[in-house]
Amino acid sequence: MTHTLDPDDWQAFRERARSMLEDVLDYMEGYREGPVWNDPAGFQSALENAEAGAGAEASDAALRALLPYGVGNTHPRFFGWVHGAGTPAGLMAEMTASALNANCGGRKHAAIRIERDIIDYSLRTFGLPDTGSGLITSGTSMATFIALKTARDKAANFSIGETGLNNAPDLVGYASSGIHACFDRAFDMLGLGRVALRKLPQDENHRMCPEALKKAIAEDRAAGKTPFAICATAGSVNRGAIDDLRAIGEIAQSERIWYHVDAAFAAALQLSDTHRSKLDGIELSDSIGFDFHKWLQVNYDAGCVLIRDREDQLRAFSDRPDYLADAGRGLGSDMPWPVDFGPELSRGFRALKVWTQMIEFGPEKLAQIVDQNIEQAAYLAERVSALPEFDLLSYAGLNICCFRYTPEGTPDDALDTLNNDIVIALQEQGIAAPSTTRIDGKLAIRVNITNHRTQMSDIDILIEAVAEIGAGMAAEA
């Protein structure tokens, strides 16, 4: 007897799939309804209940039971972290990708061509040469690792892959103190250690200070070290601040140091006629890391790394064993493959949902969402500034606003606890999902807006809920 996992009855499977699709679409249509977040304590895993192998009906029931317990980023009042909201249209790409079940590490098939199209489009968008390269990644963290490995290897004349770090130069890199934590992890994974990442002071606008950068480079060179990467931030996590990308890029060029730009969410500004100038100088970069799944609203996961010089990336990653040899023709041809540009041979078809997002919506419509979210964050900052019991702690002109509730008579040492409790209450009651951070040592309610479903009325709901919950907690204290 031959075994298979295909349906015994394809017509019955079609009916099953249609039923599930209707339920999923009902859920999507109701994204705005109900709580932003539900505590998953109410979710019971089928596997935990010893139902493995229980069949199609049990599987579908488990899927339907899961729907209310997402992180909440599809809801218009998910404000806490920089998560995109995705689109119902993304379902079409996900279904097609599932049907193809393509491994996008290599070989000659259309999925590889689509990824190359997205990389070429992105290189043009950011003003990088057509001799550049890149990959669709799981996110900016992986993009950062790929970019910095390429920079590290180039600084050591591509010898580290063979001989390791023992005989390599004493490498150091530079970033502002507001850099994302994935850079610490990348320096760790690259064997350089976090101590090799010099975190420089910021100016009054919370951007990397170019003079401090030049001084640090000179001091490290004098100490016999080799500066290999300057990492600028385009959209800091806490404040949305953007380093002076042109000034830093010019320093990198004059010092002959690899220039990387972390534009995880703010890369979307490049599509906006109104805000594109905020990224002036990004075209000087040797590499860029960003996410399609944040402000560009592609369904998770879909990040991107772009590299100015294709040969640099190939030399950092390409390794051609016999079983992956270029066949010249047929399925084993069409070199180089994505595996030649990064660490993964097994890769999902992430590029498809990016490709269809651009085809369906285009840069102008996506830019409208970017502009709209910035207007909403500015509105929040204006409202907070006008209310006597609110304190605006940070707004840098993008989509992130940090503030706190400061009712009269509450001692300063109690405000951190009060605002933390307000955020948790908002989340647990399902009203909204902001997060917290620290701004100049003060615990802040952090609101990030990267959701195409958010409306001005959602900002009003948030402010009113903070005031109501905060007043009740202050009265009980």
DSSP conformation letters of 328-362:
SSSTT-SSSPGGGGSS-SS---HHHHHHHHHHHHH
Do 105 and 339 meet the contact criterion of CB atoms below 8 Å apart?
Answer: yes
Do 292 and 90 meet the contact criterion of CB atoms below 8 Å apart?
Answer: no
Model confidence pLDDT, tens digit, residues 356-398 = 999 999 999 999 999 999 999 999 999 999 999 999 999 999 9
pLDDT of residue 477: 72
The proportion of the chain whose per-residue pLDDT surpasses 90, expressed as a percent, equals 88
Q: Is the pTM of this model over 0.75?
A: yes
User: What would the mean pLDDT of 76-87 be, rounded to a whole number?
Assistant: 95
pLDDT of residue 169: 93
Tokens describing residue 54: 């229980």
Do 219 and 198 meet the contact criterion of CB atoms below 8 Å apart?
Answer: no
**474 in helix, strand or coil?**
helix
Model confidence pLDDT, tens digit, residues 308-367 = 999 999 999 999 887 888 888 998 889 999 999 999 999 999 999 999 999 999 999 999
Model confidence pLDDT, tens digit, residues 93-146 = 999 999 999 999 999 999 999 999 999 999 999 999 999 999 999 999 999 999
The percent of the chain in helix, strand and coil, each rounded to the nearest 5, is 45, 15, 40
H/E run at residue 386: helix 350-386
Positive or negative torsion for Cα 387, 392, 398, 400: negative
Flag the least confident range among 11-15, 41-45, 98-102, 464-468: 41-45
pLDDT of residue 194: 96
DSSP state of 298: P
Positive or negative torsion for Cα 295, 237, 348, 15: negative
pLDDT at 50 over 80: no
Angle between helices 310-317 and 140-155 (to 10 degrees): 90
Do 283 and 71 meet the contact criterion of CB atoms below 8 Å apart?
Answer: no
Model confidence pLDDT, tens digit, residues 228-248 = 999 999 999 999 999 999 999
> Closest by alpha carbon to 126, among 329, 237, 281?
281
Give whole-number Cα distances, 390 to 151, 214, 218, in Å.
45, 39, 44
User: What would the mean pLDDT of 435-441 be, rounded to a whole number?
Assistant: 95
pLDDT of residue 252: 98
pLDDT greater at residue 22 or residue 326: 22
pLDDT of residue 394: 96
pLDDT of residue 321: 83
Give whole-number Cα distances, 399 to 61, 371, 421, 465, in Å.
38, 9, 24, 20
Do 262 and 285 meet the contact criterion of CB atoms below 8 Å apart?
Answer: no
pLDDT of residue 49: 61
pLDDT of residue 352: 98
Do 316 and 158 meet the contact criterion of CB atoms below 8 Å apart?
Answer: yes
pLDDT of residue 42: 79
Residues contacting residue 303 through CB under 8 Å, at least 6 positions apart: 136, 137, 138, 139, 140, 141, 142, 143, 264, 289, 290, 291, 292, 293
What is the spatial distance between Cα 408 and Cα 156, in angstroms, rounded to a whole number?
59
pLDDT greater at residue 328 or residue 405: 405
Q: State the average pLDDT for the chain.
A: 95
What is the spatial distance between Cα 323 and Cα 315, in angstroms, rounded to a whole number?
19
Tokens describing residue 74: 């599809």
Q: How confident is the model at residue 1 (pLDDT cuts 50, 70, 90)?
A: confident
pLDDT at 193 over 90: yes
User: What would the mean pLDDT of 65-80 be, rounded to a whole number?
Assistant: 94
User: What would the mean pLDDT of 266-273 be, rounded to a whole number?
Assistant: 98
pLDDT of residue 255: 98
